[in-house]
Structure 1
Amino acid sequence: MEGSLEAPTRHVIPWQDEAWYDEAALDAELRRVFDICHGCRRCFNLCDSFPILFDAIDESPNEEVEDLSAEQLASVVEACTLCDMCFMTKCPYVPPHSFDLDFPHLMLRHRAVEHRKGNTSFADRELAKMERNGKLGSMVAGAANWATKEGNALTRPVMEAVMGIDKRAHLPPFLDTRLTNQAPALVPPPNPDGPAFGRKAVIYAGCHDEFNDATPGLALVKVLAHNGVKVRIDHPDCCGMPLFENGDMKGVASAADRISAHFAPMIADGWDIVPLTTSCALMLKFEWPLIEPGNEQVQTLSKHTFDVSEFIVALAKQTGLVPIAEMPAAISVHFACHARAQNMGPKAMEMLRLIPGAAPALTERCSGHGGKWGIFAENFDRAVKVGKPAARNLMKTEPAIVVSECPLAGPHLRQVIAANGQTPPERIGHPIEVVAKAYGL
């Protein structure tokens, strides 16, 4: 039977069960799933995991998954960015189908086994220490930004040799003042005449927002306060997405426990939680409850977490918004994978359509960046190749503005647009920045 008559569902991730780490069982499950993928091939154009798998099978002696070596299986896993698009948009065999296929969480399981064996690379381990890296980088922002800037012929070749970070890859510059340290002076009081007066929202600043780019956060607080929402910005810790990419399940569970405990009293007091970054929202809403199913605070946080665009659209429907000035503009919108994976629809498009005169157009292709995956020398050319269709589509209508809900996708897409021989926009920021601009904020 192909497809299922019921809505897709996901299983709890049994990372505390010893059987989940059994390598023979993992090998058998990889081959079972890869054989189903081989017979289907609908995901051939999503990422390089599938072409790598299909080419390996086609070039094998009997064109069978059983012909593949453990190293060939691992190469499929290494190319996966955990974007979730195969599960969310393509696969007809996800649970509750009897084939019970969850490709991204199988890739996660393989990484968890390798992480437990100590096989996570030094660079992956160190880059996943987001809090430490962010704090150190912000303390010496001038020197750090000089050292990490593309084109620095002194430091970037050394970084490539030591850490494997491609010297051409864009690395986010550090803020000299963290977002939460800026917030007390910059968060405005709620507009008492705003239609959403009485609502309260905690903006959860992810690591990129806290340490690298405060622009989306400051735009959001202004838009919310202008509409009457009482706002605060918190950064209790990293959501653990980089650890998740490494298969460090214990590290992710620890982050879930600590951050959900931080937000629990606020939720009880009527605050909504709004992560600035789509990857953080995905972790809080969907991944953490599967990793910590017995933690009531994690489950409660999941139910009270809203993506930025999702929250603004909900306000527009529930309370209305302060009228937005007309802003005629063609806007290309990159639908980031971790926004799509939240299964809420293209809320950024809905939000931008609230601006009179705006003409947003959606691009649903992957940027190719994939968290920290795309900055490595072994992956950078592939990341550019994967992102080229998205970059071409974004620039097809010669837009006045290009936006993406993913803070890493934006700078990477600028590089890909340039690689396509076009002039990239000065900035590819978050859609909320456009709303703030339309309000004159």
Structure 2
Amino acid sequence: MEGSLEAPTRHPIPWQDESWYDEAALEAELRRVYDICHGCRRCFNLCDSFPILFDAIDEAPNEEVEDLTPVQLKAVVDACTLCDMCFMTKCPYVPPHSFDLDFPHLMLRYRAVEHRKGQTSFADTQLAEMDRNGRLGTALAGLANWATDQDNGLTRPIMEKVAGIDRRAHLPPFMETPLVNQAAGIIPAPNPDGPAFGKKVAVYAGCHDNFNDGTPGLALVKVLAHNGVRVRIEHPDCCAMPKLENGDLAAVASAAQRISAHFAPLIADGWDVVPLTTSCALMLKFEWPLIEVGNDAVTQLSKHTFDVSEYIVALSKETGLAPIEAMPASIAVHFACHARAQNMGPKAMEMLRLIPEAKPALTERCSGHGGKWGIFKENFDRAVKVGKPAARNLVKGNPDMIVSECPLAGPHLKQVIAANGGEVPERIGHPIEIMAKAYGL
């Protein structure tokens, strides 16, 4: 029997339970879940994990999951980007269904076992040290940006050979000054005539926002202040999404403890928390409470965290927004996977519809980037392949602007559009940048 009349639920991740790391039990669960997926095949077009699985079964002697080798089982895991789309949008067998299927968290369990055995690659481990890398990158921005530039025929081949980072992959350049260090000079005073005067928002700048691209952060603080909201920018630490991708759950738990403790006094004082990046919002709202079960600070942070577009839409309904100038423009909106995974609906579309005469159109396909997954040589071509349907939809009709709520998806989609021979936009930024433009900010 498919589906359930009850809302999907997720179990806490028992990462501190020794039995969770039992390899025989893990393999048995992989085969059980793969067999259910084989019988359903509804996820065939989401990412490469499922075609890899289905092709392996179809080519097996008896066309059964039991025929698959451990190497074939692992190939499915290695192709997963933890986008959560199978769980959130396709699978009819998620809890509370009796099949109790959570494919992304099963992939996470496999990686946690690998990580515990010391099998996470050196490059993956080092790239996940986002704050350290960000501090070094901003301190040496000129040198770092020269070395990581795609056109650098000297350093990029070396990086590919030594670290496995594909020489074609876009690597985000570093700002010379982190966003939090710019904050004093960029945050305007709240407009006392703004309809939301008295509201308070602590903007959580993720690593990319703080070290690589502060444009969405600048746009958000201007839009909020224009509407009367008091704003501050915080970056206590990385949300540890890259370490989650590695299966390093102890590090994720540590980040959850530290960052939730940082925000606890602000929340008690009436501040809402708005992460600039959808992946960070997903971690604070959904992943951390499943890893740090019973941590009151984590629970409170989850309840008081809002995605950027979600918060602006909520503000429009609660207090109203300051008048917005008409913008007769067509806007192609990429619905990023980690925005969809927050189970809040296409809030970017809803937000952009608040702009008079704007014509936003939604694309609900994965960009293919998958955090740091898509920059590796073994994955880059696959990342481009997965992103092609999204890229095709976004350029259809020659929109005036293209936006994505994921800061890594934007540059990657530009590469995919270029690979398909399409007209490449100058920037694929965050939808909040369009709101700031509509306000003349």
Whether these two folds match at TM > 0.5 is yes
* Counterpart position of 2:106: 106
State how 1:129-168 maps to structure 2 within 5 Å: 129-168=129-168
* Counterpart position of 2:59: 59
Cα offset for 1:2? 1.1
Describe the superposition over 1:375-405 as per-residue Cα deviations: whole angstroms up to 9, x where unpaired: 0000000000000010000000100000000
Structure 1 gaps of 5+ residues are none
* Counterpart position of 1:383: 383
Cα offset for 1:3? 1.0
**Separation of aligned partners in 1, 2:82 and 2:368:** 12
Q: Among all aligned residue pairs of Structure 1 and Structure 2, give the percentage whose two residues are the same amino acid.
A: 81
**Separation of aligned partners in 2, 1:16 and 1:278:** 27
**Separation of aligned partners in 2, 1:418 and 1:400:** 17
Letter in 2 for 1:27: E
Letter in 2 for 1:110: Y
Cα offset for 1:163? 0.3
Describe the superposition over 1:77-110 as per-residue Cα deviations: whole angstroms up to 9, x where unpaired: 0000000000000000000000000000000000
* Counterpart position of 1:301: 301
* Counterpart position of 2:204: 204
**Separation of aligned partners in 1, 2:271 and 2:27:** 45
Instruction: State yes or no: 1:398 paired with 2:363.
Output: no
Structure 2 gaps of 5+ residues are none
Letter in 1 for 2:4: S
What SS class does the counterpart of residue 262 from structure 1 fall into?
helix
Normalised by the length of structure 2, the TM-score is: 1.00
* Counterpart position of 2:37: 37
* Counterpart position of 1:327: 327
Cα offset for 1:423? 1.7
Cα offset for 1:257? 0.1
* Counterpart position of 1:439: 439
Cα offset for 1:294? 1.4
Describe the superposition over 1:258-305 as per-residue Cα deviations: whole angstroms up to 9, x where unpaired: 000000000000000000000000000000000001101000100000
**Separation of aligned partners in 2, 1:214 and 1:112:** 32
Cα offset for 1:5? 1.4
**Separation of aligned partners in 2, 1:315 and 1:332:** 23
Supply the RMSD in Å over aligned alpha carbons. Answer: 0.3
Describe the superposition over 1:224-283 as per-residue Cα deviations: whole angstroms up to 9, x where unpaired: 000000000000000000000000000000000000000000000000000000000000
Describe the superposition over 1:319-367 as per-residue Cα deviations: whole angstroms up to 9, x where unpaired: 0000000010000000000000000000000000000010000000000
**Separation of aligned partners in 1, 2:236 and 2:189:** 22
* Counterpart position of 1:115: 115
- List, as ranges, runs of 4+ consecutive aligned residues in structure 1 with deviation greater than 4 Å: none
* Counterpart position of 2:6: 6
* Counterpart position of 2:74: 74
* Counterpart position of 2:287: 287
* Counterpart position of 2:28: 28
Normalised by the length of structure 1, the TM-score is: 1.00
Letter in 1 for 2:50: F
**Separation of aligned partners in 2, 1:163 and 1:397:** 39
Describe the superposition over 1:43-81 as per-residue Cα deviations: whole angstroms up to 9, x where unpaired: 000000000000000000100000001111001000000
Instruction: State yes or no: 1:125 paired with 2:125.
Output: yes
**Separation of aligned partners in 2, 1:56 and 1:309:** 41
What SS class does the counterpart of residue 378 from structure 1 fall into?
helix
* Counterpart position of 2:374: 374
**Separation of aligned partners in 2, 1:6 and 1:220:** 36
